[in-house]
Homo-oligomer: A and B are copies of this chain.
Amino acid sequence: MKRRPTIIDVAKKAGVSKTTVSRVITGDGANVREETIQRVQTAIDELGYTHNAVASSLRTDRTNLIMLSIPDITNPFWPAVARGVQDRMEREGYAVVFANSDWDAQREKMFLEMARRNRFDAILINPVRVNNDELKAAHIHTVLIGSHEGFPDFDIVGSNSYGATQLALAHLYDLGHRRIGLIRGERQSRPGHSRLQSYEDFLREKGLVLDSSLIVRVPFDEMGGRQAMEQLLSLAEPPTAVLAANDILAIGALQAAHQAGLTVPDQLSIMGIDDIFAASATTPPLTTIAKPQYEIGRQAAEFLLDRLGEQATAVPRRHLFNCTLQQRGSTGPPP
């Protein structure tokens, strides 16, 4: 008899009904005598009983499982966010599990489908390709992470990426730079867009001319950053400062600059956005814009818990954290 013991076995052993056992297990011990609890507990221990969450979920329609869907687990930005999510959700008895889509629309969809079929209680997602309507059609509690436009039906937590870009550009401008390159990522379409918008607005406000050759769009990884920088340096009139849409791109750019024999920041200033771990590891350490990653995760969890409670009808909320300048060594006055 290899069968796993069930609550019925426990009930039999303890000489009570399965209902009583269930009450003990769920901690719904309100109406169970202390002595009975003990008896059940020992039966559980002796049999080595383990709760079957699947059966429980079937009956209750809750799994206590939350999915955190992100595009790129390689980007250290996310683990920091995840920590905030976990700390909050685990306290409420939820387990948080990662789904890494690797920028793959197919995979993102697959995970979404999985969360739905397996009745995950909710999803936290930084969407890659999926849109508002598809998410809505999934009929699962969802909170978005990232400063996305075009998702009117969902709670969103993110950072003010428009403001972050302004902050970065202002820093470079104040140092005296007037010819500033922008390295954008190809993939993360919407925030990239918002950064572009911000860039254009900034130039307009300061009365600088918009030179489209200063805007380069590349894949969202280190190699992309390198390529972009090489392209910028090959211009007849290269920029004196470069802002990359995230630190990974910036690090790639930094490497390319070194390789080209340029001294940073004396001959060229480089900035990133995010303030990931590696940003302080480069030489010179990268000036960047820090986002409150842990807090973002935490706030997203907070929204989610509201949704999981009774706030079902609440209107979609939006919380954008402000970003702060992390001034390090990769920026300085123009040559």
- Chain B residues contacting A99 (CB-CB under 8 Å) are 95, 97-98
Which of A97, A100, A107, A283 gathers most chain B CB within 10 Å? A97
- Determine the residue in chain B with the shortest Cβ distance to A83: B102
- Chain B residues contacting A194 (CB-CB under 8 Å) are none
Docked Cα-Cα span, A99 to B73, in Å, equals 12
Write the nearest CB–CB distance from A329 to chain B, whole angstroms.
Answer: 11
- Chain B residues contacting A98 (CB-CB under 8 Å) are 73, 97-100
The reply to whether the CB of A189 lies closer than 8 angstroms to some CB of chain B is no
Taken together, the copies of this chain in the complex come to: 2
Docked Cα-Cα span, A281 to B65, in Å, equals 37
Q: Do A117 and B51 touch (CB < 8 A)?
A: yes
The reply to whether the CB of A208 lies closer than 8 angstroms to some CB of chain B is no
Given contacts A73-B98, A74-B80, A98-B98, 15 further A-B pairs with CB under 8 A are A51-B117, A53-B118, A54-B58, A54-B63, A54-B118, A57-B118, A65-B118, A79-B100, A86-B100, A90-B110, A95-B111, A97-B97, A97-B98, A98-B99, A278-B278
Docked Cα-Cα span, A306 to B51, in Å, equals 27
State whether A222 and B281 are in contact (beta carbons under 8 Å apart), knowing that A51-B117, A53-B117, A119-B54 are contacts in the complex: yes
List of 8 A-B pairs having minimum Cβ-Cβ separation, nearest first: A283-B283, A98-B98, A53-B117, A278-B278, A73-B79, A97-B97, A53-B118, A74-B79
Which of A51, A99, A100, A110 gathers most chain B CB within 10 Å? A100
The reply to whether the CB of A258 lies closer than 8 angstroms to some CB of chain B is yes
Docked Cα-Cα span, A281 to B114, in Å, equals 36
The reply to whether the CB of A282 lies closer than 8 angstroms to some CB of chain B is yes
Q: Do A251 and B90 touch (CB < 8 A)?
A: no
Q: How many residues of A contact B (CB 8 A)?
A: 47
The reply to whether the CB of A50 lies closer than 8 angstroms to some CB of chain B is yes
- Chain B residues contacting A57 (CB-CB under 8 Å) are 54, 118
- Chain B residues contacting A278 (CB-CB under 8 Å) are 251, 277-278, 281
The reply to whether the CB of A29 lies closer than 8 angstroms to some CB of chain B is no
- Determine the residue in chain B with the shortest Cβ distance to A56: B117
Interface string of A72-104 (1 = CB under 8 A from B): 011010111011001000100001011110100
- Chain B residues contacting A67 (CB-CB under 8 Å) are 97
Q: Do A74 and B277 touch (CB < 8 A)?
A: yes
Q: Do A50 and B222 touch (CB < 8 A)?
A: no
Write the nearest CB–CB distance from A321 to chain B, whole angstroms.
Answer: 21
